[in-house]
Amino acid sequence: EVVLTQSPGTLSLSPGERATLSCRASQSISSAYLAWYRHKPGQTPRLLIYSASTRATGIPDRFSGSGSGTDFTLTISRLEPEDFAMYYCQQYGNSPIFSFGPGTKVEIK
Amino acid sequence: EVQLVESGGGLVQPGGSLRLFCAASGFKFSIYSMNWVRQAPGKGLEWVSYMTSDTRTIHYADSVRGRFTISRDNAKNSLFLQMNSLRAEDTAVYYCVVSVAGHFDYWGQGTLVTVSS
């Protein structure tokens, strides 16, 4: 069973700063099947990145994804007010077929 | 515009049943795989169930296997989740979600299920 771990649990930053979020898998997963989501309170989760590094439709270029094997990273180059939210990584294809990481909260410092 | 509208949530006693419904519009529902994903209060996202467009492949999370049943009606652009033997830990917002190549592209607004006596 693949277990996703995200770090840090909480990231305290100011608007305009750079955010670096980590997602680690308990075993190697295909980069094609690693995605990132932003979830703001009271709203629907939104797909940001799929295939580890491809931005979803309408996602600004301040969001970038990288990584392979067991280590993946989501970088937000300059935090906007709407970026203070929960972020989840998600894998597909291993057992269980889908799973999410526990999330990283990006909060205003 | 893609729209996914869930309904059927509510308050149910432990051991009870509930049937969730998702009405899809704005896209060709019949060719997409569909999922249910939930979020318990104060917790993270948890994938629940998956069904391919042709209904031939179905998967469940271990936490719901044997109690929940996913189904769909492509003629009516509808997705369902029959939930039996409900437990307190099933309390959550349940989202209807379109998946494409393993990622979750479109999400509904969710319907709240509360299991409590």
Reported as a single tens digit per residue, the pLDDT across B11-47 is: 999 999 999 999 999 999 999 999 999 999 999 999 9
For the segment A76-91, the average pLDDT, to the nearest whole number, is: 97
What is the average per-residue pLDDT within A21-29? Answer: 95
Split at pLDDT 50, 70, 90, the class of A22 is very high
CA-CA distance, B75 to B8, in Å (whole number)?
20
Interchain contact A98–B (C-beta under 8 A):
yes
**If contacts are CB pairs under 8 Å, which of residues 72-101 in chain B contact chain A?**
95, 99, 101
For the cut 80, the answer to whether the pLDDT of residue A19 exceeds it is yes
What value does the mean pLDDT of chain A take? 95
- Does residue A93 have a pLDDT over 90? no
Give the rounded percent of residues in chain A with a pLDDT score beyond 90. Answer: 90
What is the pLDDT at residue A94? 78
Residue B98 CB: number of other CB atoms within 10 A? 20
Say if CB B96 and CB B22 are below 8 A apart: yes
For residue range B38-88, list pLDDT tens digits in order. Answer: 999 999 999 999 999 999 999 999 999 999 999 999 999 999 999 999 999
Q: Residue A56 — very low, low, confident or very high, per pLDDT cuts 50/70/90?
A: very high
CA atoms within 13 A on the CB side of B99: 25
High-pLDDT (> 70) share of chain A, %: 100
Q: Chain A interface, mutation test: which of B1, B45, B52, B106, most A Cβ atoms within 10 Å? A: B45
Cβ–Cβ contact B111 with A under 8 A? no
Which of A39, A98, A99, A100 would best serve as a mutation to test chain B binding (most B beta carbons within 10 A)?
Answer: A98
Residue B41, preceding peptide bond in cis (omega within 30° of 0): no
Query: Mind spelling out the 3-state secondary structure of A6-74?
Result: EECCEEEECCCCCEEEEEEEEEEECHHHEEEEEECCCCCCEEEEECCCEECCCCCCCEEEEEEEEEEEE
Sheet holding A19-29, edge to edge: A4-7, A19-29, A63-76
Q: What are phi and psi of A2, to 5 degrees?
A: -85, 130
pLDDT of residue A31: 86
pLDDT of residue A96: 76
